[in-house]
Amino acid sequence: NAGVTQTPKFQVLKTGQSMTLQCAQDMNHEYMSWYRQDPGMGLRLIHYSVGAGITDQGEVPNGYNVSRSTTEDFPLRLLSAAPSQTSVYFCASSRDGGVVYYGYTFGSGTRLTVV
Amino acid sequence: QQQVKQSPQSLIVQKGGISIINCAYENTAFDYFPWYQQFPGKGPALLIAIRPDVSEKKEGRFTISFNKSAKQFSLHIMDSQPGDSATYFCAASPNSGGSNYKLTFGKGTLLTVNP
């Protein structure tokens, strides 16, 4: 049971480049989300999905795009990378019923640097 | 507007001492309050959680105290050990319909337990 798998673990981008951060879970969780973690800022919600085909914006969605074509995968796309997007990105998932009952399972993160 | 305020930012405790981390919230719709523990290079992991119908919850050396009227909750780590050294995040979530998937995190507390 792999849990939540994020790839890549590290990435350096040049300003203006685009890329996709991958997230996959094998727990058949309905709910998936993306957070970014910055020093002194905690974890901030970027986008989330309550099931295949359903996505919505979180607290800091600008510059990011998501889609959810399958239950297992929830990729995060950076459309045109900016230095302000330098951060550690975490994908998380939860069973249907929400984090209130089951909590989040987090991946190990992707450390992104935009130069 | 920061919805969950966490203090202190960092905390140094001697082995065997008590570690105390405090959080305060403003949104009265919040009714689920978890704490997550994060080790360097890893994603956060659920540590313990409380609902507002109880004032205290204890799991081993970890205790959450909750004060609904003051809109405050805290994590107490008894007999702190060097292995407890990590970043701790408090969080809050409403438990209503589709919103029970969203967690709002505090900014985190870096705990160091000296041997």
Q: What is the 3 state secondary structure string of chain A?
A: CCCEEEECCEEEECCCCCEEEEEEECCCCCEEEEEEEECCCEEEEEEEEEECCEEEECCCCCCEEECCCCCCECCEEECCCCHHHCEEEEEEEECCCCHHHHCCEECCCEEEEEC
pLDDT grade, residue B29 (50/70/90)? confident
**Which residue in this structure is represented by tokens 């309550």?**
A50
Q: In whole angstroms, what is the distance from residue A91 CA to residue A4 CA?
A: 7
Q: For residue B103, what pLDDT is reported?
A: 86
Q: In this complex, is the C-beta atom of A39 within 8 Å of any C-beta atom belonging to chain B?
A: no
Q: For residue B2, what pLDDT is reported?
A: 64
Please list every residue in chain B whose beta carbon sits closer than 8 Å to the beta carbon of residue A58: 102
* Single-letter amino acid code for the residue at B114: N
Q: What is the mean pLDDT of residues B25-41?
A: 91
Residues of chain A with pLDDT under 50: none
CB pairs under 8 A between A and B: 64
Q: Do B107 and A50 touch (CB under 8 A)?
A: no
pLDDT tens sequence across B42-67: 999 999 988 888 899 999 999 999 99
Q: In whole angstroms, what is the distance from residue A1 CA to residue A27 CA?
A: 8
**Lowest pLDDT segment from A45-49, A51-55, B79-83, B97-101:** B97-101
Please list every residue in chain B whose beta carbon sits closer than 8 Å to the beta carbon of residue A42: 6, 89, 105-108
- DSSP annotation of B41: T
What radius of gyration, in Å, describes the C-alpha atoms of chain A? Answer: 13
Whether B109 has a pLDDT exceeding 70, the answer reads yes
Instruction: Give how far Cα B17 sits from Cα of A15, A69, A104, B7, Å.
Output: 47, 49, 29, 18
Q: For residue B1, what pLDDT is reported?
A: 55
SS3 B99: helix
Q: For residue B94, what pLDDT is reported?
A: 81
Q: In this complex, is the C-beta atom of A74 within 8 Å of any C-beta atom belonging to chain B?
A: no
Q: For residue B96, what pLDDT is reported?
A: 61
| Count of positions (residues) in chain A | 115
Q: Check if the beta carbon of residue A100 is closer than 8 Å to that of residue B32.
A: yes
Q: Check if the beta carbon of residue B100 is closer than 8 Å to that of residue B94.
A: yes
**A100 token code pair:** 């209130």
Please list every residue in chain A whose beta carbon sits closer than 8 Å to the beta carbon of residue B53: none
Q: In whole angstroms, what is the distance from residue B12 CA to residue B5 CA?
A: 20
Please list every residue in chain A whose beta carbon sits closer than 8 Å to the beta carbon of residue B6: 42
Q: In whole angstroms, what is the distance from residue A110 CA to residue A95 CA?
A: 23
Give A82 to chain B, closest Cα distance, Å. 23
SS3 B66: strand
- A 10 A CB-CB count for B16 gives 11
**Lowest pLDDT segment from A94-103, B18-27, B73-82:** A94-103
Whether B6 has a pLDDT exceeding 80, the answer reads yes
Q: What is the mean pLDDT of residues B73-82?
A: 98
